[in-house]
Structure 1
Amino acid sequence: MDSIDLDVLKASARWLESGRRVLLVTVVRTWGSSPRPEGAMLAICEDGSVAGSVSGGCIEDDLIDRVRRLGIQQTHPEAVKYGISAEEAHRFGLPCGGTIELVLEPVTPDSRIDDLCARVIAGEVVMRSLDMTSGAVTLTPGSSAEGVVFDGRCLRTVHGPRYRMLVIGAGQLSRYLCEIALGLDYRVIVCDPREEYSDTWHVPGTTLVRTMPDDTVLDMKLDDRSAVIALTHDPKLDDLALMEALKTPAFYVGALGSRRNNMARRERLESYFDLSKEELSRLRGPAGIYIGSRTPPEIAISILAEVTAAKNGVVIPYELRTGEAKAARDIAVNEQTACIADGIR
């Protein structure tokens, strides 16, 4: 769950507690392109106050206008669609032909929003099942791999804590990477036991720990909502942490370094540590996708692009991975140089 979604739930609970009526809107299905993904939420208070979003703004405006004019009249959840025709798509800011289906749910004490928020804050992954006929809600353990399921009779959504990112090393690149990661809504933990780096670390919104990185990995109990990025270039810090991280369900484990350093790192991990070939194959290194990056901010973007793809289940084409792309570039340059030399002779 992104923090914005938790904010939506908290706002719903707060308005309900104050005695106001609340409408919770959830994106349950999209066709074609859409501004917000399935599971995105919007809460509308009876006075027109809002939290969250389900589109680029036009659908929100329509829903808010209805609430202000008519109040929240729903007594049970209902499903509505926007953008079925090209005219509607244009009116509501959707790409031509796009369609979005929403569930409008009047929030009541039986919605169990308070209970859901408490469980998410406690670190649980929870499936919320909404009966469309009665409005009754059940909360059961869920998995982050499960998505939104809507069959017209029941809406199931999965809610959990924010994605976490462990960054090993508190150097200059880490500063840029962490600032962008915060914007991507990660809970960012920076680990560096080296005083010369940790004493000068100051990136608001991040948590700094000074323990050894492998101990930090174990203490964090990484799950499939976790990413680990090693940036120190120091095998004493990176290798042990990577060894432990590759044994966890973390969705991304990557390390900075040249192709030569990455090859040496893989050989060390395979020769001296208890890692299977399958575990070792999960290591992303050199971390990032190839965009010709040279400066720390550009390298940070390259790495986080790969992290984002992994988080969203997108497979990066082989030729775009940093190591492979640079190898292909070198081959092309060598061939071009050889052709020029042949021409001169």
Structure 2
Amino acid sequence: MEDLDTQVLRAAQAWHAAGLPVLLVTVTRTWGSSPRPPGSLMAINGRGETVGSVSGGCIEDDLIRRVREEGLDAVCAQGRPATLRYGISADQAHRFGLPCGGTVELVLEPVAAHSQLPELLQANLERRSTERRLDLHSGAVDLQLGRRDGVPELSDDALVTHFGPRHRLILIGAGDLSRFLSQMALSLNFEVIVCDPREEQRASWSLDGVTLSHEMPDDLVLRLQPDARTAVVALTHDPKLDDLALIDALQSEAFYVGAIGSRRHTALRRERLREHFGLGEAELDALHGPAGLYIGSKTPAEIALSIMAEVVAAKNGIQRATPVPVAEGKATWLDGGAAPADLPASCPV
């Protein structure tokens, strides 16, 4: 499954290649409450078909109506990009279903050969972060290597947007926990790679949409070179496999590196990585261990939910001190003697 931005861009390119008029719509700025954040994309063709969204559906309905009744040329005069705002007045907010007087600003861009959508899609496929500059006067597009994330920047002359590769999750170990994590990650549009060199573990492990690797974990991590849109989680409880992956992952740009295990085993792991493999304190501080947020997890599915929640929090820039990590939760509930009666001391997370 592709991420939503890629689906929008691919649909826009396919419609254009089929000869249909197409608009690419970008949320550039919002004021007050708004259903979709800046950077959200939608493509709409001349028949009124859409992919993606810029609101809860009301603005889309109005754009579809205008495209069908007036045509794309009327919406974007002379084939040039146009800027449009919804929700400026209380009447508009009520009409378009915007909450509490929220305002949404859009740039409507007619898709053409110079839109460079195939080039942008290829950059995403090759995991290259791209800055896309749209000239608001001519519609010409310039693509450059850029940062992985950022809000749109709109001026009188140009709209600059940022596109990055799909988020990726590398799991070390093929088992029940990795299966639940994979299913959750796929539903969140992550690319998922499961690595396990143990043939007996891989024999019965398969899941549509997941790449299964038999490489040694350190070889896989070195080959993939985790970037700032990659998370790595070690799940085997075997230091010969987990530590190998963690050594290289902690020295990469990965936005999240975690490993399961008890607090005692986590402390021993940190000591091994420090004493035997020379990792510094800054690298060890980046290790999430035990991986996950404390939710009293007991089953593999609940543990997977705990870990995936922490991965998503890290992806979204939530600081580690904001959610309650596993170690802090255990110290509060178990060491403090305030644990519920049905929470065993051997609780796996």
* RMSD over equivalenced CA pairs, Å: 1.9
Alignment of 1:80-119 (within 5 A): 80-119=84-123
User: How many residues get paired?
Assistant: 336
Report the equivalent of 2:187: 183
Q: Which amino acid aligns with 1:34?
A: S
For the structure 1 residues 155 and 221, does the alpha-carbon distance in structure 2 shift closer, same or farther, using more than 3 Å as the test?
same
Report the equivalent of 1:192: 196
Deviation, structure 1 residue 220: 0.6
Deviation, structure 1 residue 296: 1.3
Report the equivalent of 1:236: 240
Q: Which amino acid aligns with 1:312?
A: N
Distance 1:225 1:332 in 2: 37
Report the equivalent of 2:12: 12
Report the equivalent of 2:172: 168
Task: Kindly indicate whether residue 39 of structure 2 is the aligned counterpart of residue 35 of structure 1.
Answer: no
Match of residue 155, structure 1, among 152, 159, 178:
159
For the structure 1 residues 334 and 77, does the alpha-carbon distance in structure 2 shift closer, same or farther, using more than 3 Å as the test?
closer
Distance 1:94 1:314 in 2: 27
Deviation, structure 1 residue 119: 2.5
Distance 1:156 1:18 in 2: 27
Report the equivalent of 1:69: 69
Task: Kindly indicate whether residue 317 of structure 2 is the aligned counterpart of residue 310 of structure 1.
Answer: no
Q: Which amino acid aligns with 2:236?
A: T
Report the equivalent of 1:56: 56
Deviation, structure 1 residue 146: 3.6
Distance 1:61 1:177 in 2: 36
Alignment of 1:129-148 (within 5 A): 129-148=133-152
Q: Which amino acid aligns with 2:266?
A: N
**Secondary structure in structure 1 of the residue aligned to 2:15:** helix
Name structure 2 gaps, 5 residues minimum: 342-349
**Is the CA contact (8 Å cut-off) linking 1:318 and 1:324 kept in structure 2?**
no
Task: Kindly indicate whether residue 282 of structure 2 is the aligned counterpart of residue 281 of structure 1.
Answer: no
Q: Percent identity?
A: 53
Deviation, structure 1 residue 332: 3.0
Task: Kindly indicate whether residue 127 of structure 2 is the aligned counterpart of residue 123 of structure 1.
Answer: yes
**Is the CA contact (8 Å cut-off) linking 2:260 and 2:291 kept in structure 1?**
yes
Distance 1:31 1:295 in 2: 43
Report the equivalent of 1:22: 22
Deviation, structure 1 residue 114: 2.1
Distance 2:12 2:322 in 1: 45
Match of residue 221, structure 1, among 201, 209, 225:
225
For the structure 1 residues 40 and 335, does the alpha-carbon distance in structure 2 shift closer, same or farther, using more than 3 Å as the test?
closer
Distance 1:260 1:85 in 2: 59
Deviation, structure 1 residue 33: 3.2
Distance 2:168 2:68 in 1: 39
For the structure 1 residues 299 and 87, does the alpha-carbon distance in structure 2 shift closer, same or farther, using more than 3 Å as the test?
farther
Q: Which amino acid aligns with 1:38?
A: P
Distance 1:148 1:336 in 2: 47
Distance 1:19 1:334 in 2: 66
TM-score normalised according to structure 1 size: 0.92
Name structure 1 gaps, 5 residues minimum: 338-345
Match of residue 210, structure 1, among 204, 208, 214:
214
Distance 2:89 2:324 in 1: 38
Deviation, structure 1 residue 132: 1.2
**Is the CA contact (8 Å cut-off) linking 2:333 and 2:339 kept in structure 1?**
no
Report the equivalent of 2:261: 257
- Structure 1 outlier segments of 4+, above 6 Å: 334-337
**Is the CA contact (8 Å cut-off) linking 2:36 and 2:55 kept in structure 1?**
yes
Match of residue 328, structure 2, among 324, 329, 336:
324
Deviations 1:238-293 (A, max 9, x none): 01110110000000001111111111111111111121111111001111111222
**Is the CA contact (8 Å cut-off) linking 1:319 and 1:325 kept in structure 2?**
no
TM-score normalised according to structure 2 size: 0.91
Report the equivalent of 1:201: 205
For the structure 1 residues 318 and 109, does the alpha-carbon distance in structure 2 shift closer, same or farther, using more than 3 Å as the test?
closer
